[in-house]
Each structure stands twice: as C-alpha cells, then as structure tokens.
Structure 1
Amino acid sequence: MELTTLWFIFIAFLFVGYFVLEGFDFGVGMLVGIFAKNDKERRVLINTIGPVWDGNEVWLIVAGGAMFAAFPEWYATLFSGFYLPLFLILIALIVRGVAFEYRGTRDEQQWKDRWDWMIIIGSFVPALLWGVAFANIVRGVPIDASGEYVGGFFNLLNPYALLGGLVTLSVFLVHGALFVALKTAGDIRERAHVFAQRCGLVAGVLAVAFIVWTGLSHGDAVVWVIGVLGAAAFVAAMLASYAQRDGWAFTGTFLAIGLVVTMLFVALFPEVMPSTVDPAYGLTVEGASSTPYTLKIMTWSAVVFLPIVIGYQIWSYWVFRKRISTENMPADAH
C-alpha cells in the first residue's frame, strides 16, 4: 500500500475516533439545556463527560496535525476555504472548555447559568458545523487550477451540506442521550431514554436521507454497503434503547457514526478536495501529499505513539465507568 493511501486511511481513522467520542459529549453539552431541571442535574450531566471531554478533543488535534504534515495542500485549501466555519468551531470549543472549568468557581446561580449557556452553545455550534464542513468536502467546492478556494461563505450553505449539519446535530443529540442513559441512574436515565427515542426518529430520517443522497451522488457499491450498515446500526441502537439495554444502545450509535464518517471518506477517495469548477482541479491524495521521506518518518512515529494514546484513553474510560446520579452530588459541590 502506498504511504499516501495509508495516511489518508489514518486521517480518516482519527476523524472517525473524534466524531464517535466527541459526538456524545457534544450531545451531553446540548442536553444540559434541554432536560436538566435544576443545578444538581446539570452537574450530573456535566460530570458524565468531565473526565473524558478534553481527551476526546485530542483526536481532532492529532487529525489536524496529521493532515498538515501528510497533506499540506489539502490542509491549506481546506483551512483557507472553510476559514469562517472552522474559526467558529474553534471559538466554540475554546468557550466550551473554559465554561467547564469556570462554572464552579463561584456559588451564584446566575454565574453558573451563564457558563451553562456557554456549554450549550459551545456544543451546538461544532455539532452543526462539522456536518456542514464534511458534507462540503465530499460534495466538492470551487477550487481553481492553482488549488485555491475561489468561492464565498454562502457556497458552503448548499442543501446537501445543510442536511449534513442537521444529521450530525441530531445524531449527536441521540448519541449524547444514550451516553447519559448509560452513565446515570434514576429520573435522569429515564428522561434520557425518552429523549433518545423521540429524537432518534427525526435523526434516523435525516440520516437515511443523507446516506441515500451521498450514495446516489458520490458513491459506488462499497459506499452503499457502508451506509446501509450505518443505518442498520442506528436502528439497532433505537431498539436497544426501547429494551433498556444501555450499553448496546450506545454501541449502536457509536458504530452508526463511525460507519457514516467512514462512508464519507470512502466516497471521497482518491480525492481529498474535489473541485466544482473543473474535476481536473481537484486535490488528490497523490497531488496533495508530502514527500515520501516525510510520510515514512510520520509512519514510524504513529506506530510508536498511537497505541499508547489509545491505551491510555481506554484506561481512563474504564476507571470512570460507574453510573452517577443526583445522590452523588453533595449540596455544597460546585
């Protein structure tokens, strides 16, 4: 296998990991404003992701770094053309991270409420815009003969991309609700099941529409198979939720998100940024890659360090695996 193809697969793997892990804590962040009735319940929701949210973001940092090093032309075109949405995502992630740390520094409820809104908004914005961004990457954007983006912001707000944004937003909400059901006990767990089942109907319809559109426009048999498996995993997650099988339900949405993101990368390959101006202007894995020597050094580094990072993250999830409830939240806790 060519190193360029190997690194395309590796970057796809990193983004799959990012979406399946960060997806549920985006969902939990948005749910803070949907069904938490009081401050103690909001603390329960936040504590379900408290030990892991920052580790989940490492996948994005590594994916961005790998893209920059392995495919510098892809990185340059993507970040120049998608500057505004990616900037909004970055600001949202910063605000969200600060909110997690600062909401408990003062006792006033008004202070906590303001930071809770930052958590909600900081989760909503990337949950929506990541779908818009990736749908545009697969659909193609205006790129000229020199590999530069020549469109405007509103070129990114096309029907396919907006549908992609609604899919990630709704599916992340379901994913987050099922994670809450897996990690909590009592009334919050029951409410999480009800929300996941209701929101799951909407998310399922949107996701199927997106999969079909992708298959008809950009796919072959492999893309269709992966998309159908993703839809089947989502249906299985909903059935498991109705049966109160929290672990299987969360595993179902975990697989569904991973399969749909994989479908997008398979539909994209061997291009990394298709051009809507002229197909010949699109960036490919070969044309956008670094030198073979650079890719070789990066490959050995990934072989050494990636298992360590994955092992540590698995260990952290195992350590914080127990359920929590409002009974675990002392009255004087922040």
Structure 2
Amino acid sequence: MEINKVTIHDIAKALGIDSSTVSRALNDSSRVTKKTKDKILKKAEELGYQRNLLASNLRKNVTNTIGVVVPRISRHFFSSAIQGIEEAAYQSGYNVIICQSLEQLEREKNILESLAANRVAGVLISISMETMNYDHMNGLKQGGIPFVFFDRHCSIPENNNVLIDDFKGGFDATQHLIDKGCKNIVHFSGPQELGIYKNRFDGYKAALKKNNLPFKDAYVLSSRLMEQDGFENAKSLLENVLDFDGIFSANDVAAIGAMKYLLNEGIKIPDDVAIVGFSNEPISTVINPALTTINQPGFEMGKIATDLLLKQVKNKTTLLKTQTIILDSNLIERDSSKK
C-alpha cells in the first residue's frame, strides 16, 4: 500500500494560508511571526509532516553528511574506527556515509567523485594500498570540501592527519621479540610507498640497530598482507632454508597465515619461531596459540578524526592551521611469543 506523504501544501490547505508562508515558517524565517510559526508547526506535527532534509540541504548547497572511505570494513581496526566516527558525528548532528575502496585506487577515485557530487560536508579517508598518486584529492579541494586522513595518509603537505605512532609500534614489536631471545627476525611488510608500513619497517630496523643485530634484506618480505600472503611468505622462508626464530608482521592477518603454514609443517610456536602481529584483530585471541600484537586505538582515532574534520567544516571561512595528531599504541603479549 502506498503511503501519501504530507506536504507543505497539505499544511497550507488545512490552515487556509499560502504554502510559501508554511515553507518560511518551517525554515524558521524571520519574515513569519512567532504566533504563525507556532500554529504551522503544531499543524505540521498533527498531520505527521516530515521534512525532506536532503532536498533542503541540497538547495542550500550543503549537507549534514560526512563521507568515510576505508580500505575494508571487515578489518576490526576500521570497524572500530567507524564506531568512533559515527559516535562523534551523531553527537554533532551529522550523518555518515561509509564506503570501502577494497584497496583499489580506481574505486577510491570513483567514491570521492561520488561523495563530492553529493555535496558531503567533509570526508574522512584512509587511503588504499594502490594510492601512490594523490591527484584525485583535488576534486575535494576545488569543491571546498575539507578532508582528514586517518591511519593511512598521503605524503603531501598541509593536510590534517590522525595517525598512530607506527614507528614506535614497529620498534616495540621487534624489541619484544629480541627480549624473548630472538636473533634472526623476519619482517612481513606492506607496500613501502604507504607511510604506515614504511614507519613500521623503520621501527623494526631501529630495534635491530639498537641491539646490534644485523639487518638483512632477505629477511624482509613485502606483500599486500593478506592471509594467503603470510602463508606464502612462511613457505618461502622454509624453502629458502633461512635461519629465523622470530617474525614481526605489519598486520595480524599475514601473521596468522604464516602461523597456519608453520604449524602445519611441524614448527613449534613460540619455541621454534616467536611471532608478533599488528592491529589486534579479534581472531588474534582465538587462534592457537593466541597472537601477540600491537593494539591500535581505533575508536579513539575515529572520534578524534571526526572532531578535527567537523572543526574544519564549521570554520570554512577561516583558514585553520593543519594538524597531525599522533596516537600511542601498545603491545599485548600472548602465547605466540611467550618463550
């Protein structure tokens, strides 16, 4: 059954006044007296009138919606960041559109074009693994749409960023393995063009240097850090007969792939090889042995990034100083490294 929506014309007809007066009253125009406004608002409520906020906002060339672009919603870190984003947005009266790039640059470009065309108030983005060129951000700049990078960011000047201390996370993970007696530590890295993976890699190298352990190129394996990549990396290590007793993976997913392969090959974890991941995915507590990992404050990052974005949205006429906010991370020790 089709439901007939109440329009401003229905309210005008019921009160015997012009629809233009009803429209002004509903938009809180100073051209309508308080007495008339109250009468119109009361009748609108009686009739069950609902404003079309989208149409209203589009007429004003602005919406109360922010766009969020993440690589994968399925990753726990991003889902917890989205919770923080939605919480902060809701408190400020904003809606959220969530999109995922699936780590594809072309998809990311199309999403940003669509968000700009729909006149979102601002955009929060964590770039894809394929994003090495940032020209597609120009559409937002030209449209006067503020944006904030979170977790993953572009290495271009004068941007707002909310990140974690990836260098410290990489250092802490590697130092933890060294403290457990590991001397030949492999690193599973993501694309070095992405700041987060470069910084985690630099943290790994710094920990080796601090402890007078040699850095070896053969011990660094780069990939997209999917579970299958971790599986293949571990297989490669054994096939090449590399002497290793520790693995620091730049994410949990690849670490878990490696654990599955090594355990299947009769390698004992942590006795033969200790492993540390990054991100604290829920599965890291379920797998046996449970995975030691670097915890990221996703919810907190989402809230802070949203607050920073909305500050830009509400001060479009004022040139605000750009900010990079760095959040701390912490290591959670579990059985995969308890030698």
Max Rg structure: 2
Same fold, TM-score > 0.5, yes or no = no
TM-score, normalization: structure 2?
Answer: 0.25
TM-score, normalization: structure 1?
Answer: 0.25
Q: Which one has the bigger strand percentage? A: 2
The one of the two structures with greater contact order (alpha-carbon pairs below 8 A, sep at least 6) is 1
